[in-house]
Every structure is written in C-alpha cells, then in structure tokens.
Amino acid sequence: MGEIEFIFNKIKKVKSVMLKLLILKSSVLLYLFSSFMSATAGGVKDLEVFHRESQSFITFKEDKDVKGERYRVYQSDKPITEKNVKGLKPIAILEEGSSRLRFRDSKSKFPTFEKLGIKNAVIQDMDKGGKPLSNDTGLLVWTVKKAAATYYAVVLEKDGKSAGSPVLGINSLKKPVAEKTGVPGAIKIQHREPGMWIYMYWNDYTLWNPRVLDDCPIGIANVFQIMLPKKKELWTKSLAVNIEPHGYGALGHMRNSTSSMGKFNWIKILPKNFMNTWHYGHSNAMTKTDYLDRKFRVIKKGVVVNYFWHEMNFLVKWVMKKPANFTTINPDPNRIYMKGFSQGGTGANTVGIRHGELFASVNPDKGICNWTREKVGT
C-alpha cells in the first residue's frame, strides 16, 4: 500500500510540473503573440471610443518610442483591418500629444486652468471624477453628422508614411459605436461659487481642420463661463440669455467678472477667443505657423469662415437644450441677446445682421464698421 501511494504521489508531482510547464509555455506564446500584434499595430494601443451627445471621443495610447509622429484616424461601417484600410481615407491626422490643450500655448493664459494645473483635455465632468488625460494619450473628438454604427482605427504615421496596420482589439475596434446626431455637450470643469460654472467643449473637427490634418492654431477645444442670478429661486423662472464676447486680448474677463455675479437676473454666458479673431473669423487655410507669425490678418489663400458664428450658435443651442450636467434652468427662447465689446462687438455686428431669427437684440459696443481697413484683414 505504501509503495502504491509513493508511485501515486510521484505521478501527481510529474503532472504538476508538466502543467506548470504548459502554463509557462502558453504564457510565453501569448506574450510573443501579443508583442507581435502590438508591433503590427505600430505602437498604437488601447483604442477606446465612447459616444456622448452627438460626439465620439476617441482615445488611444501613443507610441512613446518615437518622436514627431502622427496618427491617422479611420472610420468605417465594417471592422477595419490590414486588408480594407487601404481603401479608406483618414478622417483626421493627429500630431503627437493630441490631448494637450493647444489654446494654453497662446500668449493669453487662462488663469483657471493655470491654478487647476490642467494642461490636457478633460472628457468627463470633473465633479464626477473626470481628470485631465495623460501626456501619452491621443485624443480625437469627432462631431457626428449622420447616425450610424461606426468602427474606428488609429494607425501610426512616420515621415508621411504608414508605420503600422489596424489590429482588432488593439488599435482597431472589434465592435461598432452607436452614434447619433444632435447638439454637442460640454464638460463641467469647475463650479467656482454658487451660480457660476466653467465648461469645456469641442468644435467640429472637419470645419476647423478642412485639410484633415489637425492644424488648427489653437485646437478645437474651447471654454466658456456661465453665470446665474444670485437668488436660486430665480433659476427655474423664465430667464433671458445674454452672451458677452470679449474684446481683443481681454481674456481675463472671466476671472474679473466674478464680482458682478448675481447682479443681473438673466443667464450670462462668457465665451473665450484665444486666437483673437472674433472680428469675423479667419481663413480656413491658416496654419499654426501662420498664427504664430501673425500672418492671419492678410488673407492670401483659402476661404474666410465665420467661426465666430458657429461658436455662438453652439452656445445658444447648448443652453436652450437645458443640459443634464448643468443645474435646472428655464431659458426664454424669445429673449436671447448678445453684447460684444471691441472685437467681440465686431463679431456681434456680423451675427446680428445675419441671424435676426436667433437673437432678439445685439449690442455691438465699439465694434469695427469700416471693413476696408487693411489692419482688420479677417
């Protein structure tokens, strides 16, 4: 009996060793396969996409081993693979560090973001746990034009050529994203005091980057401040909406406006224009280099687009839809006003003349009226 038990224990030990070797072998093979697939994907990994309020948020890990690279973003109604990607054109070409808030590179700093230490995009409300994305996280916020079930893929580009292929589950989605159209949302950044909030939002990528390349001088992310009357019992009453675009370079108006909070019984929205192009807009052919060299005043190519109007139109639609991540309000659609100062007044002129169906009145304070002046240019 003892001899049989001895043999049985020996067999158990041999089986245990063989099982461990098999597990080790499987782990090694899995690691090698994973490494091979990651190499095929060109260093791009962890692709994730979620859809919210007519915009799809596409995030992925950038390749840390290369510098100065770009990332091609593709979409399709079918899973994107190495075979079919050749028949697709990228919807966007992102540069390295695409989650960085480019408007922070402008000469006019935004005090709130400086104090909060926000350098990269935030894609979830901060009061719900949202945090700035990491430096190596790539980001594209895509505004949907048509409801669909969409697959996405991100491929590395080096020296103008593709340096990888779509691999399902790594840099290409296995399942589609259900996308819908509508009014885009905004991310709650800060609730500074009763009746005052700061939000971040994303403009339409295709409008701001018509060349597909992500070359908009300050990116498509922007911010605004919204203020309500001091008395909370007024918030659910029918309130007028007043949008107040600032003057050239007056980017501190959000910070300085806190003392006036609650003095007026309406919904007050303070938008930001880091490019200082609210005179009308700017050429859609303007590059980051053109902006930094201050060449945008004289239009030599492209089409001048009234980006000012698109941003103001978004703000009106956003507040009128009574967003779920804002407090309960009751904006009056028949009392939407705009009071712009200087360059903001110039933009208010262009909006008031063209869109009387939206604004009850427009007050362009010290706006430019003589468009023949070469200094205006935009």
Say if strands 282-283 and 304-305 run parallel, antiparallel, or are unpaired. Answer: antiparallel
The verdict on 241 and 267 lying in the same domain is yes
pLDDT reported for residue 371 = 60
pLDDT digits (tens, 9 = 90+) for 197-243: 999 999 999 998 888 998 887 889 999 999 999 888 888 899 999 99
Does 338 lie in the same domain as 246? yes
* pTM of the complete model: 0.82
Q: Are residues 230 and 160 in the same domain?
A: no
| Nearest residue to 61 (alpha-carbon basis) of 35, 93, 32, 96 | 96
179, 211, 239 — which closes off a domain? 179
Rounded Cα distance, 206 and 143, in Å: 8
Question: Does some domain include residue 114?
Answer: no
Identify the CATH number of the domain in which residue 270 sits.
3.40.50
Question: Among the three residues 143, 158, 179, which one is the final residue of a domain in this structure?
Answer: 179
- Does 196 lie in the same domain as 173? no
Helices (H), 307-342: 307-320
Is residue 30 domain-resident? no
Residues 194 and 322 in one domain: yes
Q: Is the four-CA dihedral 265, 266, 267, 273 of positive or negative sign?
A: negative
Asked if 239 and 354 sit in the same domain, the reply is yes
pLDDT by residue (tens digit) across 38-62? 555 668 999 999 999 999 999 999 9
- Verify that 246 and 213 share a domain, yes or no: yes
| 12-42 pLDDT tens trace | 666 666 666 666 554 544 444 444 445 556 6
Same domain, 143 and 170: yes
Residues 164 and 276 in one domain: no
Burial class from Cβ neighbours inside 10 Å (0-12, 13-18, 19+) for residue 377 reads middle
Q: What is the pLDDT of residues 153-207, one digit of tens each?
A: 999 988 777 778 999 999 999 999 999 999 999 999 988 777 889 999 999 999 9
CATH number at residue 154: 2.60.40
Q: How many domains does the chain have?
A: 2
Among candidate residues 179, 209, 235, the one where a domain is terminated: 179
Residue 324 lies in a domain: yes
pLDDT at 2 over 50: yes
Q: Please report where in the chains the tokens 């005043």 appear, as a residue.
A: 297
Residues of the domain holding 262: 187-365
